[in-house]
Every structure is written in structure tokens, then in C-alpha cells.
Amino acid sequence: MNLLNADLKILRSYLEDGRISAKELVQFYLDRINKYDDKLKSFVSINEDALSQAEKIDVKRRNGEKLPPMAGIPIALKDNMVTKGLRTTCSSHILENFDPVYDGTVAKQLKEEGFIILGKLNMDEFAMGSSCESSYFGKTKNPWDTERVPGGSSGGAAAAVSARLIPASLGSDTGGSIRQPASFCGIAGFKPTYGRVSRFGLVAFASSLDQIGPMTWNVQDSVELMKIIGKHDHHDSTSASKNSFEPYDKKLDNLKGIKIGVPEEYFKEGLSPEVEASVKDAIKHLESLGAEIINIRMPHTDYAVAVYYILATAEASSNLARYDGVRYGYRAEAENLSEMYVKTRSEGFGDEVKRRIMLGTYVLSAGYYDAYYLKAQRVRTLIKNDFLDAFAKVDAIVAPTSPTTAFKIGEKVEDPLSMYLSDIFTLSLNLFGGCGISVPCGFDSNNLPIGLQILGNYFDEAKILEIADCYQKNTAWHTKIPPEFE
């Protein structure tokens, strides 16, 4: 019984057939975490009640009680999704001991389906980063090369799934934070349309950009998780009123009739030759499966990084104002209220979070609002129109997920601009608000994974996932496990 490449459907069948108990399955993953995570640092917290929760499920199963579909299967969440009884830190000192009093919507939905939340996963502090190096709890390592980053900000989720420390996870994507680490770690990372998945209980970074999505080792598991979390939620005012996510009734055996756009702006200077070659090979593979490949233009792509780092930091400045030491979280010792505010935020936030708060406060300040923030909103509309024009001609857009494979730990820490450019191919989709997935499409000469990005229009999740699934049925990149963790 091979558990390492067993997807959610197979694990479910093992449990239902009695080939393994929920307790044994949970213990299997806890043993892998105990064995490997000191090296990876992918988990921030472990659910100490996981085994007892599994035992209760086993008793109910033996007694013939009706159980939810995923009863007994472990899963883990990025540590910016609130979970009752399991601390939620955002990998920050300021929330180091924050114990939420409620479950966020996605946590509640997973529990109702029978999942056991095994723990919370490391991340860049407050989801601000592209490398998972800014966590207060230590840097997460890439399972393919532990001297390299796993990507960010959902680096812990990507590393844990890649090393099979957990069968599946949820991350969040504000500017590529699901797709870029998925690319670096060789897994599938899916960002749904903005509003498709509830953000109730997601600690806010940039509220007009944040979106929760699945991070799994194959596309089919992302589909399974989207069936659970892709629903309207009245607790979230930005939750889409559209019907719940539904996968295609008929799975695609080929891509005949599918038009795929290739934007020339994503194949320019700065793109690694090895990444470019693998992505172009993947595009040829899609064409061999019947897709029609169409060259397209997205002329405002070059402005995406500047626009994103104005709008995202402005929203972060507003959202993070609540962490002041008064109501919850870390509070510094001080002689008066003003000093307490300053010391709490100075000691509680890391350098990257402070950098973004200051930048966001600056662009929102009197005299600079029109020059920066308002102008960025206008350019965001132009970027959005690029996507709408493209989707009038094609069903999906393909591009590299990241311009390079995983870089060395420490390589970009002292150069924030270089770090920000790591997300140059993913930011635009968040500004647009559509859906997209990264799937592995090859390896470079250092045996590091390369990601192919497939982007879709608003609420076209089913189509994008089916294209990605069709690609995976005809390739084997996603089945590979980092050698050290087999």
C-alpha cells in the first residue's frame, strides 16, 4: 500500500475498505513530520488532538455510523487561516500566541467533510514575501534542495505537500503565493477566482487581492478540495453569489476545441533559458493533445509589479493597523500608551512587514494618494482589460509560473526589488481577479522543478482544472517525489 502517491480518493477508499484506520493514517503523517520537518521547518503548529480525533472516527466507522466523505484524512492549513483551539500566528511574533475563538469558513468546511486538521503551516510573515524566509519561526527549506527556498508566501504548504508530510493543504494567494511556491516545489497550486472561496477567517493582507486555494500533489485533489471550499458564504461580503464550484461532468481526454493563448510579454529578458525551454515543451505537448495555440498580446504586463506593490502595501497598511497591542496579540512593556503602540509594532513586526506598512502608508498619505494610489488603480483597470481582451479570443492563457527555479536561501533577502520580481508572472492574475493553476512541467539541470501556469477567466475554474488535469494524465512530472523524502 503506497501512501506517498495516494490521492484523496485513494486514501478515502483505503479508509472505507478497512485497509488502514484513521489513527494509522494520521500516525503515518505524524511520523513523517517527526522524521523530516526539523530539516524543512514546514509546520508551525501540530494539532495535539489529531490522534484522538482519528480514534473517534474509527469507532464510528466500526459501529457502522454514517461518516462524511473525507472522514479521517489529514490536511493542513497555511497559518493565516483561523482555527479554533489551534493557534494562528501568521508566522509573526505579534501573533505568536494567538488562539482564535472560532473556525474560519474553510476550516469549518473541511471539518464538516471529515478532514482532520493536522497542523498549521509556515509562511512569510503576514503572507508578505516570495521565499518563506521572513517567518518568525524560521525559514522553510525546499525539499528538492534544502539550501534553497520553497517560494512564498505559502512555502510551508508547498514544502509539506511536496515532501508528502501531508496529503493536501490550503494556501492563500495575494500576488502568486500559491502558484510560485507550487512551481518551486513541484506540486499543483490553484488560485480560484476572487470571491469563489470565502475569506472569512483569513487574516487579511490585501483584501482586494487575497484568495484561498488548494495546494496538492495532483490536480484531481485540487478539484476535490474546490468542491468543498468553492461555495458562497454569507459571512464574507466579497463572496461571489454565483453557484458553487462544479467540475466538468465529462472529463477531458484531449484538448480539441480548446484555444490557448501564449502572451509574448511572459517570454522576455530575465526568463531562465531552462524554464523557457520546459514551458515551451509543455505548450507543444498541449498542442499535441489537440489545443489550438494562439499568440496574444498583454501590453500592460510590465506595469503589474509597480501597480501591485502600491495597491497591496496600501491595503496592508490599513489592515495591519489593528495590531497595536491593545486588543490581542503581543504587547510590549511601556510607560504610556503612545510608547506601547510604537514598541509593540516595532518589536512585533519583522523587517519586510514594516517595509510594506511604511510604503503603503506613504502612498496613501496626503499629496501622494493621487500620484500613486489612484494612478495604480487606473492601471489595474488596463491590466484587467488586457485579460478580458485575451479571453474574448482564447479559453485559457499559458505562461511560466516563475522566471527561475528555486533560488538559494539568503540570495535575495538584501535586495527587496529582486525578491519582488520573483512574482512578475503571477501578480497580474491577482490584479485581474481570475483563476489560475501552476503544475510541474519539467526540471532544470539542478533537478529543481519548473512550473507551467494556466490562467482562466472569472469563474472558469472547472475549465482550467480540466486542462491541467488533461496535461497531467499525459505527463508524469507530478508523480515525482524529492529523493530524500521517498
Catalytic residues: 78, 153, 177
- Hey, what's the cell of 232? 458562497
Burial class (CB in 10 A: 0-12, 13-18, 19+), 452: buried
Please give the Cα distance from 55 to 61 (Å, whole number). Answer: 10
Are 33 and 485 in contact, with CB atoms under 8 Å apart? Answer: no
Query: 478580458: which residue's cell?
Result: 388
What is the three-class DSSP state of 137? coil
Q: Which long-range contacts (CB under 8 A, 24 or more apart) does 358-363 make?
A: 358/317, 359/309, 359/313, 359/317, 360/312, 360/313, 360/314, 360/315, 360/316, 360/317, 360/318, 361/317, 363/310, 363/313, 363/314
Are 257 and 290 spatial neighbours (Cβ–Cβ below 8 Å)? Answer: yes
- Listed residue (467, 473, 465) closest to 225, CA to CA: 465
**Interatomic CA distance for residues 404 and 482, integer angstroms:** 19
Give yes or no for a contact between 98 and 56, defined as CB atoms under 8 angstroms apart.
Answer: no
